[in-house]
Chain A
């Protein structure tokens, strides 16, 4: 089979990496890989795309991207958004900023959270979290100055290596009302039993929060709740 056949096939590289080719298709494609650098180049690009997509899904970012930010870039909608933003700022309730609506607060892996220019945020600190029955808060998070990531290491009551967990972060206002800020699923515990989730700490204003940890690999799991106090770091 001519290598140009593979250059023109938009699906062959992905199907090869997914091991979906028949024996004869694979043999012909592998011969083309050797003969035609363009075929190899496309395979490498496809592999990069797949790795990038996996990474975005693991970071809990893909669902938001699927809903789309293209609309936000049309001039009419941008103008409307700007007007709305001005009103919101005027009312003094602009707390999390425009970027907060576009980028997640929580991620499953370090490196997924980014600033408005697309630069990966640095790790600002790690906060270990487990139930403390004698204290008002299970954890006090000092938010570092600037935009950085805080790793939250949460210890379940009964850690299980094969379990998968979900985490939800909720802000608890002074009047007792609550607002769920973000949630993320599919977290695997580390070998020490802790479940790690990464938070863009610039989106955490000082106050009281609740972190709910629940199993997502079983039906009707009971959530474990951790109370958190966020304070400004002296940094």
Chain B
């Protein structure tokens, strides 16, 4: 039990869990032997589906994944949080508490952001803390080499977006709101903007935001396809 509660066990749970599920679903308890693995081709299929699903989450939601990495300042911790979120979501999906495959990705990131918030809260109350959460946000993240490349690609897209904004005022709004995370009222007061003008600036920027989504061939239907396939295989097993 102690081993099963360890961080390593929880981190690997996502990768291990479906084999366990195949064991309980397909093999009568009397046929099980201690230490044996199920030499089922279906186990390979499940593993492939699992890996596809995990890869898809990682690939299509790079912005959210990198945001979590930046907020934790620790790629390994970020991966742990995301794995735990996927594990929790998978359990909910298996229990039939998520009705549609379209819900899965949203649930993963809602869980991940809550785990992150809990982590930051826990760090914030440690007596030995050295920096606040906002101070940590301001520090450059120590990224994996792969993430360095992805971030550079995102920076290229954002550079184009900024260059295409009409005025220095619009660019200032974009940076102060999205990067510096200042409140709308503060920005409006500083730049002598009405609420409507502010909303229009963001509206124009949001239209261009959708182009950022296409930077790695994003397609929501890809995720849905994989989840539907997973659901069909799970139903077939039962």
How far, in whole Å, are A19 and B143 apart by their CA atoms in the complex?
A: 22
* Interchain CB contact under 8 A, B209 and A50: no
* CB nearest to A20 among chain B residues: B181
* Interchain CB contact under 8 A, A51 and B151: yes
Q: Which residues of A contact B122 (CB under 8 A)?
A: none
Between A34, A62, A68, A108, the greatest number of chain B beta carbons within 10 A of the residue's beta carbon is seen for A34
Closest approach, in angstroms, between the C-beta of B185 and any C-beta of chain A?
11
* Interchain CB contact under 8 A, B154 and A51: yes
* Interchain CB contact under 8 A, B168 and A68: yes
Closest approach, in angstroms, between the C-beta of A35 and any C-beta of chain B?
7
B189 at the interface (CB under 8 A from A): no
Q: Which residues of B contact A110 (CB under 8 A)?
A: 148, 152
* Interchain CB contact under 8 A, A49 and B178: yes
Contacts of A45-83 to chain B: CB distance below 8 A? 45-59, 61-62, 65-70, 73
Q: Which residues of A contact B167 (CB under 8 A)?
A: 68, 70
* Interchain CB contact under 8 A, B66 and A51: yes
From B4-12, B15-23, B30-38, B101-109, give the one contacting chain A: B101-109
* CB nearest to B103 among chain A residues: A34
* Interchain CB contact under 8 A, A17 and B199: no
**Which of B172, B183, B184, B213 contacts A41, CB < 8 Å?**
B213
A230 at the interface (CB under 8 A from B): no
* Interchain CB contact under 8 A, B159 and A65: yes
* Interchain CB contact under 8 A, B199 and A56: no
Closest approach, in angstroms, between the C-beta of B56 and any C-beta of chain A?
13
* Interchain CB contact under 8 A, A44 and B213: yes
Closest approach, in angstroms, between the C-beta of A7 and any C-beta of chain B?
10
28 contacts between A and B (CB under 8 A): A11-B184, A14-B177, A20-B181, A20-B183, A33-B110, A35-B106, A36-B106, A43-B64, A43-B109, A47-B67, A48-B63, A49-B178, A50-B178, A51-B67, A51-B70, A51-B151, A53-B174, A53-B175, A55-B158, A56-B159, A66-B168, A66-B172, A66-B175, A68-B167, A110-B148, A111-B149, A120-B153, A188-B139
* Interchain CB contact under 8 A, B179 and A50: yes
Q: Which residues of B contact A205 (CB under 8 A)?
A: none
Contacts A45-B212, A48-B63, A56-B155 aside, 11 further interface pairs with beta carbons under 8 A come to: A30-B113, A33-B110, A47-B63, A49-B209, A51-B154, A52-B151, A54-B141, A68-B167, A70-B163, A111-B155, A120-B149
Closest approach, in angstroms, between the C-beta of B140 and any C-beta of chain A?
5
Closest approach, in angstroms, between the C-beta of B149 and any C-beta of chain A?
7
* Interchain CB contact under 8 A, A118 and B160: yes
* CB nearest to A186 among chain B residues: B140
Q: Which residues of A contact B149 (CB under 8 A)?
A: 111, 120
* Interchain CB contact under 8 A, A45 and B202: no
* Interchain CB contact under 8 A, B212 and A120: no
Q: Which residues of B contact A (CB under 8 A)?
A: 60-64, 66-67, 70, 98, 102-103, 105-107, 109-110, 113-114, 117, 139-141, 148-149, 151-168, 171-172, 174-175, 177-179, 181, 183-184, 199, 202-203, 205-206, 209-210, 212-213, 215, 218, 220
Q: Which residues of B contact A46 (CB under 8 A)?
A: 63, 178, 209
Q: Which residues of A contact B67 (CB under 8 A)?
A: 17, 47, 50-51
Closest approach, in angstroms, between the C-beta of B111 and any C-beta of chain A?
9
Q: Which residues of B contact A118 (CB under 8 A)?
A: 156, 159-160
| Interface mask (A161-199 → B, CB under 8 Å = 1, otherwise 0) | 000000000000000000000000010100000000000
A18 at the interface (CB under 8 A from B): yes
**Which of A10, A112, A188 contacts B202, CB < 8 Å?**
A10
A229 at the interface (CB under 8 A from B): no
Q: A33-B106, A40-B105 are known contacts. Are A111 and B151 too (CB-CB below 8 A)?
A: yes
A145 at the interface (CB under 8 A from B): no
Closest approach, in angstroms, between the C-beta of A26 and any C-beta of chain B?
9
Q: Which residues of A contact B163 (CB under 8 A)?
A: 65, 68-70, 73
* Interchain CB contact under 8 A, B212 and A40: no
* Interchain CB contact under 8 A, B156 and A114: yes
* Interchain CB contact under 8 A, B202 and A39: no
